[in-house]
Structure 1
Amino acid sequence: MSLTQKPIGIYFEHPEWFKPLFAELDRRGLPYEKIDAAHHLFNPAEKESPYSLVVNRMSSSAYLRGHGQGIFHTAGYATHLERIGTRIINGSAATAIETNKARQLSLFESLGLKYPKSFVINHASRAVDAAKELRFPIVVKVNIGGSGAGIIRFDTPEGLQAAVDNNQIDLGIDQTALVQEYVTPRGGNIHRVETLDGKFLYAMKVFTTGESFNLCPAEICQIPEEQSAEFCLTEAPKKGIQVEAFTPPAEVIAAVERIVAAAKIDVGGIEYLIDDRTGDVLFYDINALSNFVADAVNVVGFDPYARFVDYLEAQLPAGSKAAVPAELATA
């Protein structure tokens, strides 16, 4: 046992997405430990965490990789860390919003922000009733999705009814879904605004055909015909998908910062589009998991992981040195 700084705990389940984060931590010589969120245990009786800080990078798409148990486990772990006084980046409040699209709509409503007209259902049979109040086309969007998973478009009431009758609608791992008007984005692009420490970091326009309902511009994923655990492409710019940096209007940035403040998100992205029919700004997704855009230096002009690690260093508690096993001080 030696006196050394407690490591930062990086709590994650995807094997590829956070390599740039680990590289930046290694570059600075910061001690950290990789925490496998898919095969995790914790002791609720412990009084002190072995980590100086825990960074929550759990993904809502984990169930596509056979790791759905981690989504629900994370809520309890985050609550535990907060109770014993361990700083967690994107804690229990952020987790609750990230993993529940119905809560996201409620948050938009509470802030007076517009979003696509929607209803929330907990049984596929109610999709038809909800759709009667909506303009077609519509989408059925699972409550816990992530990376655009579990979104199905219906162009007609008859098509929706047939899908219900044939038990073809899966509401996802919590059996809850949104029934939502499909909105054609003006200019053929959606927008993602990344934030850090409650403030605007950068924004991107992502140009989409509208045929893929995976609106995950931080990675620019493409949904194949069958959902796959590995459909996200971290080297998106090399795949010919048009991405461009831009600065949103001041009122949009202000709205985004209000959203992340209300959701208690330390680092995350907010997605919106411009309704081609009305010109309205419609917010539609809150992401507490930010996989910063591939080739960020060329796309947005700087390395967001460097700024993220700057933030993590600033969050380390004063006097965070303690006697911990040497193996915990290395990744």
Structure 2
Amino acid sequence: MTIPTEPRVHVVHENPEWFPPFEAALRAEGVPFEEVLLTDGSLDLDAEPAPGVYWSRLSASAHTRGHGQTKEFTRALFAWLEGWGRRVVGGTHVVELEVSKVAQHALLRRNGFDVPRTVAVFGRGDLAARSRELPVPFITKHNQGGKGLGVRRFDSHEDFDAHVASPEFEEPVDGITLLQEFLRSAEPFVTRAEFVGGRFVYAVRVDTSAGSFELCPADACEVPGVVPFALRTEITGDHPLVRRYEELLRTAGVEIAGIEFLETADGRTVTYDINTNTNYNPAVEAVAPVSGPGAIARYLGGLLSGDA
């Protein structure tokens, strides 16, 4: 790891494909930065870390890109940084939230949000029996998710039993499969609300009419015509749900996030995902009143200069 001597923003990540919009924004704001590509390397635990602000871009889906150990590398790095008192945006407690939908579900429920009925199953042994606790249809997810990992709909318990016994069953990287109620949306879309510095930036409407579970908004993730993204202009910073999300992030110590929710056909507003490694869709960015990467660059720059 190159250790600069001047204070700067250190961007900790494992996926260079996602970095260009943030690099451009940091340069545009004149914020000095250094990439920390956390796929290998080493640490001198007795050496003082480089000065500056560290920003975590750890993704729960890192293992799908051949970086299965990045989660542990990040935990070790942040233990070292926090031990030396360095400022980490998305630090150790946020990493645990990013890589566990169980932790997200617990946080949301504890703060009074409507969440999907969910059963966490360790290994395969209890899957068939516990699935009977949910009516059909129901869906499965991986606890350490992202990119729609392990998300499938089942219309009968017998179909699910056959899937679990088949070679097509995807073993979750942490061994935890989530069984979750199937939510019928009032209209075929979900919403992702973006926050920087704990404050609302904008909300994105994600069209789900094609049935895809790949909701990553980054340019590198897009499949043309499958999951179009659009700005949801009627949701503003004054929306009651947005205010509740801001309070949630404040109390949880989460500074940068995208929170996903669904408005159901039977009148519920269900929050089901907190993404602390957020990406931004270029089509939405082109029409948004505020840039997501730009807001992050300004926020990190403010922390670096002591103005935030």
TM-score by length of 2: 0.90
Matched residue, 2:232: 245
Q: CA RMSD in A?
A: 2.3
C-alpha contact (below 8 Å) 1:163/1:169 kept by paired residues: yes
* 2:282 match: 294
Q: In the alignment, what sits opposite 2:291?
A: 303
Tell me which residue corresponds to 2:257: 268
Following superposition, the deviation at residue 251 of structure 1 comes to 2.1
| 1:9 aligns to 2:23 (yes or no) | no
Secondary structure of the equivalent of 1:177?
Answer: strand
Partner Cα separation in structure 2 for residue 261 and residue 302 of structure 1: 21
Residue 200 of structure 1 aligns to a residue whose secondary structure is: strand
1:27 matched to which residue of 2?
28
The amino acid that maps onto 1:78 is: F
Partner Cα distance (1:154, 1:238) in 2: 25
In structure 2, the CA distance between the partners of 1:180 and 1:30, relative to structure 1 (3 Å rule), is: same
How far is the alpha carbon of 1:72 from its aligned partner?
A: 2.3
Q: Distance in 2 between matches of 1:125 and 1:210?
A: 33
Q: Distance in 1 between matches of 2:28 and 2:240?
A: 37
Percent identity (aligned): 28
State the shift of 1:275 in Å.
1.6
Alpha carbons of structure 1 residues 205 and 261: separation in structure 2 relative to 1, 3 Å: same
Match in the other structure for 1:328: none
> What is the distance in 1 between the residues matched to 2:225 and 2:87?
37
Unaligned ranges ≥5, structure 1: 221-229, 319-331
Q: 1:306 & 1:244 partners in 2: Cα distance?
A: 17
Q: How far off its partner does 1:80 sit?
A: 2.0
Q: State the match for 1:258 in structure 2.
A: 247
Shift of 1:4: 6.1
Residue of structure 2 in register with 1:150 after alignment: 150
The offset of 1:240, in angstroms, is: 7.5
Matches within 5 A, 1:118-129: 118-129=118-129
**Structure 2 unpaired stretches of 5+:** none
Task: Give how far 1:261 is off.
Answer: 2.4
2:218 maps to which residue? 219
Alpha-carbon distance in structure 2 between the residues aligned to 1:251 and 1:165: 45
Matched length: 302
One-letter code of the match for 2:233? Answer: F
Alpha-carbon offset, residue 270 of structure 1: 0.4
CA gap of 1:60–1:264, structure 2 versus 1, over 3 A, is: same
Q: How does 1:93-112 map to 2 (within 5 A)?
A: 93-112=93-112
**Cα distance in 1 for residues equivalent to 2:234 and 2:6:** 39
Question: Structure 1 residue 317: deviation in Å?
Answer: 5.6
Query: What letter is aligned with 1:209?
Result: S
Rate the CA distance shift 1:258–1:129 in 2: closer, same or farther, 3 A.
farther
Deviation at 1:150, TM superposition (A): 2.2
Maintained 8 Å contact 1:139/1:179: yes
Instruction: Give, in whole Å, the separation in 2 of the partners of 1:187 and 1:275.
Output: 8
- Higher RCO (C-alpha 8 Å, min separation 6): 1
Supply the distance in 2 between the matched residues of 1:212 and 1:163 (Cα, whole angstroms).
Answer: 19
Contact 1:184 1:210 survives alignment (8 Å): no
1:177-234 per-residue CA deviation (whole Å, 9 max, x = no partner) reads: 2110121222101000001111111111111125212233x338xxxxxxxxx7x12x
Q: Conserved in 1, the CA contact under 8 Å of 2:214 and 2:227?
A: no
Equivalent position amino acid for 1:25 in 2:
L
